[in-house]
Structure 1
Amino acid sequence: MRIEIFPDLQALSRKAASYIVEEARASRDRPFTLALSGGSTPREAYRSLADPSFSSLMPWKRTHIFWVDERMVSPTDCDSNYGMVRNLLVSHISVPPENVHPFAGDLPSPEEAAARYEVELKEFFQLGRGQFPEFNLVLLGMGEDGHTASLFPSSKALLETRRLAVPAHSEKPPHSRLTLTLPVLNMAKKIIFLVTGKEKAYTVKRVLKDPREASPLPAGLIQPSLGRVLWLLDEEAASQLRPVRGI
């Protein structure tokens, strides 16, 4: 695990975009699989990645974009994670349409939407029974309560060990969500957390400095056995940690 701290959201977001480009180019001629989150902090990273200074360096033709979680809303709804990424990133880049893999958040049933996404993941990654996909890179945020993706504290989704995607419930609207499961996230080759804001400083400290305090928190359960984890924090989110400044 590595921690980097930045003076503001803009610097953090540009560094995140830089790391995405770095990982994509390192995958050489192989497909590069990228799983994206919703939320206000990742939003700025997508704006940065859409900037020609970064987007021109990306191998978009072999990049496949997936989603970590979604709300059960229409893709044109302002709460849609897919819609947000489409507006800020996808509509500004030359990624082939067939390389964009959103949840079907507009289906009547979250169970059906989760099952459909699981089928898509199994087919794309050519998974056998009991196997999980290995994303090249997963971008995650973290809420003040320690949730990540749509994995909330005390959620039944945290107990899932077999499925790839499941319905989830949020106390905040939209209540009905979809999320990748912990086994999927923990199979990623690299995970980058993007966290900003003083209101998250105590939770950041719990997750990063006290394993006993972190264990009930979903973000503290992101512990890939083989992958790498990088935390990009602004100074406010890192205010209860020993200073370690990113470049």
Structure 2
Amino acid sequence: MNADRIAALSTSGVAVEVVAQTGSTSADLLARAATLTGPVLLVAEHQTAGRGRAGRSWLSSSENSLTFSLAWKFAGGPQTLLGLPLAIGAALGDALGLLGVQVQLKWPNDVLKDGDKLAGILVETQAAPGGGTWCVIGIGLNLLMPDEVEAQLGRSAAGAPWLARMERDVLMAALLDALANCLRLFEQQGFAAFCARWNLRHAWQGETVVLLDNGAVVHEGRAAGVEETGRLLLDTEAGRITVMAGDVSLRVKA
């Protein structure tokens, strides 16, 4: 992949960097946040220590996946960023749809294809010197899913062979533009601008689901989408409740 070509193909105005290998693109950008002067996209052709929510690892390879992080500064504090991972999911879903890959969204931060995970989103924050908040948005997108990788994961996962045939620089530029447009709109309107778009792609709308915390069921009910701050709406026997996206796992009830 070529940083100059990605930047030239993109209309975002974001600085682009490409490295052959690193541990984690998100960790690298967080370490540099205090010295950044503008948005930066960091793409790794191979990432050895990618991570997801709750410290989970993200397996990737240069042949089979696209791994990158985008550092973006917001003027407000972390409290102004409610729903940001979901907004990014909605934008990513729309961008993939335009590229010919139809996806669904799982609360709070997964992109699914045919019921299996295609991409994951991890948003991490750090206070910016002089005020504001740096957000580092890490994304791992499966392009191909060989049997041996599924065996390592211990579960089925999705691939997008159509995207794997695209020129990587063109694909990355298209995703960067979608993300930059998303973040600019989020700065102005918050998650309310994305709520309907997210609900249209909700994978488990109307399904009976359980919320797990360390393996224990903490809530059970029928998934009813999300509301305008990004909280999950769950219709339980006791009535409708809202759930924040803490360290919980959402599953369809067996």
Q: Please give the range of the TM-score, normalised by the shorter of the 2 chains.
A: under 0.3
Q: Which has the higher contact order (CA 8 A, sep 6+)?
A: 1
User: Per residue, is there more helix in 1 or in 2?
Assistant: 1
Return the TM-score normalized by structure 2: 0.26
Rg comparison, structure with higher value = 2
Return the TM-score normalized by structure 1: 0.26
User: Per residue, is there more strand in 1 or in 2?
Assistant: 2
